[in-house]
Amino acid sequence: MLILDGGLSLLATLAMLVVGIILLILLVKVVLFIAIPGILALVVWFMTKDPFLTGATFLIIAVLTIIFKR
């Protein structure tokens, strides 16, 4: 097995790289998923200052986003 200067094998380095890329992709997807409901909830918060309506807006838009995937 090839040992690199850091003591990790090439296979372990590639495995960590793949896991890192997958985690980065998942993080971006989560941020994009939360962005639209978050923006709409923020608009509702500025208009009403009601935490219940803000939370309800966020949940309803998030569920609708899941149901009607692009």
Residue 4 resides in a domain: no
Interval 31-41: pLDDT, tens = 988 999 999 99
For residue 53, give every residue at least 6 positions away whose Cβ sits within 8 Å of its Cβ, in sequence order, or none: 44
pTM of the model: 0.67
Interval 2-27: pLDDT, tens = 555 656 677 888 899 999 999 999 99
Residue 1 resides in a domain: no
User: Residue 44 is part of which domain span?
Assistant: 10-67
Residue 26 resides in a domain: yes
- The number of distinct structural domains making up the chain is 1
- Select from 26, 24, 3 the least CA-distant residue to 13: 3
Q: Which residue has the tokens 């372990």?
A: 12
Q: Whole-angstrom Cα distance, residue 33 to residue 37?
A: 8
